[in-house]
Chain A
Amino acid sequence: MSNGLINWFRYGSPQSFYPLAGRMVPWFAALAALSGAAGLWIAFFVAPTDAQQGEAYRIIFVHVPASWLSMFLYVIMAGWAGLGLALNTRLSAMMAHAIAPTGAMFAFLSLWSGALWGRPTWGTYWVWDARLTSELVLFFLYLGYMALNAAIDDPRRADRASAVLALVGVVNVPIIYFSVKWWNTLHQGASVSLTRAPSMATTMLTGMLVMAIAFWMYSIAVALARVRSIMLEREAHTDWARELKETA
């Protein structure tokens, strides 16, 4: 068939996506390592000491990218889950499952680095402020999504139930993002905005963006590697899986 759409649907099946994902993993891992090294170099050796916070502000290069990724990955996970719910494609649900643990890891890192930043700057590791609380809810949404998947034996039913949870939870993402505007919070406003000039030195901003790229590349590499394992686990009984040349 010469329909341009068909090529995309071809990769919607596990047996054709499995080798493609395998070829992509090392490239994204290499990009993650390169941009991570560049980001760390900028974070520690190029970006100047902050006038107000001294060296403590350097936590920003972990904290902001981790927070961004925890939100982006949730939206992408919910997107795949929703696609799986609507089209009932096998790959969509597997992709959503593959993203969840990495998203949870970034939500944890966001909370952890935020606590370590809050202590020297605010005098406390934790406050029940809108930004912090909504990020904690995001972390629990990831855990709930994974727990729900693990709790239902029939994988197809688990896919549908967890997809509904993921989609309902999406409402939390704009709440996190706008929490610093909507409520009077201890947390500072957005570091980067599309509508106004950034409120920090260019090198600080560059370091943050490069680290965000590194975390992105890492996430893609890890999610693709995980989806391959999920495919093997779920499709071990199928001909294409048995005919793979790969062995443990």
Chain B
Amino acid sequence: MNWGSSAEFLAMGGYAFYVWGSYLAALACMTLEPLLLALRRKRALERLQAERTRHETAA
């Protein structure tokens, strides 16, 4: 185990800004991308629904 306390863990030996800056950026990107994808899927399904209705009224 590398850390004596949680404060020591957060301090990262004085490199907190650099270490957490990297990990949080990765976390943010990899959270945001799936959220944006879910939104894109929702929009695509809504458009598909509109296409279905148009098709049914035309038929």
- With an 8 A cutoff between CB atoms, is A229 at the interface? yes
Cβ proximity bits A221-245 to B, threshold 8 Å, 1 near / 0 not = 0100110110011001100011010
**A210-B12 Cα distance, complex, nearest whole Å:** 21
Partner of A242, one of B2, B14, B26, B52: B52
**A116-B22 Cα distance, complex, nearest whole Å:** 7
**Distance (Å) between the CB of B4 and the closest chain A CB?**
12
Known contacts A45-B2, A247-B49; A116/B44 CB under 8 A:
no
Cβ proximity bits B1-17 to A, threshold 8 Å, 1 near / 0 not = 11100000100111101
Near A by CB (< 8 A), chain B positions 16-37 give 17-19, 21-23, 25-26, 29-30, 33-34, 37
**A225-B42 Cα distance, complex, nearest whole Å:** 12
Known contacts A109-B25, A109-B26, A242-B55; A117/B44 CB under 8 A:
no
**A248-B50 Cα distance, complex, nearest whole Å:** 11
| Chain A residue at minimal CB-CB distance from B41 | A229
Partner of B48, one of A62, A109, A120, A241: A241
**Distance (Å) between the CB of B36 and the closest chain A CB?**
9
Known contacts A55-B12, A62-B22; A236/B34 CB under 8 A:
no
Contacts of B13 in A (CB 8 A): 49, 54-56
- With an 8 A cutoff between CB atoms, is A108 at the interface? yes
| Chain B residue at minimal CB-CB distance from A66 | B26
**A229-B19 Cα distance, complex, nearest whole Å:** 35
- With an 8 A cutoff between CB atoms, is A102 at the interface? yes
Please tell me if the beta carbons of B45 and A246 are within 8 angstroms of each other in the complex: yes
| Chain B residue at minimal CB-CB distance from A118 | B18
Contacts of A66 in B (CB 8 A): 26
**Distance (Å) between the CB of B47 and the closest chain A CB?**
6
**A248-B51 Cα distance, complex, nearest whole Å:** 13
**A59-B47 Cα distance, complex, nearest whole Å:** 42
Please tell me if the beta carbons of A108 and B29 are within 8 angstroms of each other in the complex: yes
Please tell me if the beta carbons of B40 and A229 are within 8 angstroms of each other in the complex: yes
Known contacts A120-B15, A236-B47; A229/B37 CB under 8 A:
yes
Please tell me if the beta carbons of B2 and A63 are within 8 angstroms of each other in the complex: no
Partner of A59, one of B9, B22, B43, B52: B22
- With an 8 A cutoff between CB atoms, is A101 at the interface? yes
- With an 8 A cutoff between CB atoms, is A112 at the interface? yes
Contacts of B43 in A (CB 8 A): 248
Partner of A248, one of B18, B23, B46: B46
**A226-B37 Cα distance, complex, nearest whole Å:** 6
**A228-B42 Cα distance, complex, nearest whole Å:** 11
What are 11 sample pairs from A and B whose C-beta atoms fall under 8 A apart?
A63-B22, A116-B18, A116-B21, A226-B37, A232-B41, A232-B48, A233-B44, A233-B47, A247-B49, A248-B46, A248-B48
Nearest 6 A/B pairs, CB to CB: A55-B13, A248-B45, A113-B22, A232-B44, A56-B15, A55-B12
